[in-house]
Structure 1
Amino acid sequence: MTDALHIDVPHADGTLAVIALSGEFDITTAPAVRTRALDLIADGHPDLVADLSGVTFCDSSGLGALVGIWRCAKEAGGSLTLATIPDRLNRMLGVTGMDTFLPAHPSTEAALAARRGDRTTT
């Protein structure tokens, strides 16, 4: 039995939004995550923080969705920041080299603070 994916948006203010995922991020759920993230970008929130603390499994489709979201955010003048990455997923990001272009923080609060810091220095 799979762990159903839940997508929440606990924070959306100005250009910044948090998308929180819990469950399995795989070939069956990646399209819904991508769609929700692109909707947030289209709604004026191109700076996304993805809270991955509840992700129990991630396959290559989930990683591909993150790259697609990152590209779309970048094209909209925004960014994608990861927060609270489970150890197994963190290792996958390192092996694939995705950790070189997707900034990560130990918590959503730390990611939000870093984003606010970015905004005040630009």
Structure 2
Amino acid sequence: MYVFLAEEPGAVVVTVRGHLDLDSAPSLAAKLDEALSKPQPRVVVDLAGVEFCDSIGLSTFVVGHNRARAGGGWLRLAGPGEFLERLLDTVGLTTRIGVYPTVADALADRPDGTAG
């Protein structure tokens, strides 16, 4: 798995590629810790390159989301593939954490990917 952190205007984008599972989730958790250490953290997790995610990966999103909210900010998920989007919906995370079609939509808070 590959995890990369990038500053964007008003937010930090955490890009994840590959498999997100028991072995790799600690790498994501470390990057999220870094991004969430700021006051009122605003974090977008780019999932476009995630091929697989297990329950440990999902719990990393929940912990990050809870920590961001506790700090007065937010965590949003962007660009999940069909498998991951279905998984997020099945476990009920789409009603708890904002899921967006693209990073740009998440940064602009456009859940349906429309302009405006």
By the TM > 0.5 criterion, same fold? yes
In the alignment, which of 19, 28, 37 is matched to residue 42 of structure 1?
37
Number of matched pairs: 110
**Corresponding position: 1:53 with 2:70:** no
CA deviation after TM superposition for structure 1 residue 44, in Å: 4.0
TM-score norm. by structure 2 comes to: 0.87
Moved over 3 A (4+): none
**Corresponding position: 1:7 with 2:6:** no
> Structure 2: how far apart are the matches of 1:36 and 1:10?
10
In the alignment, which of 89, 96, 100 is matched to residue 91 of structure 2?
96
The structure whose residues are more often helix, as a share, is 1
1:71-82 maps to which residues of 2 (within 5 A)? 71-82=66-77
The answer on whether the counterparts of 1:17 and 1:45 sit within 8 Å (CA) in structure 2 is no
Percent of aligned pairs with the same residue? 32
TM-score norm. by structure 1 comes to: 0.83
RMSD: 1.5
Residue of structure 2 in register with 1:120 after alignment: none
Cα offsets for 1:71-94 (capped at 9, x unmatched): 111111111111101111111111
> Structure 2: how far apart are the matches of 1:25 and 1:53?
12
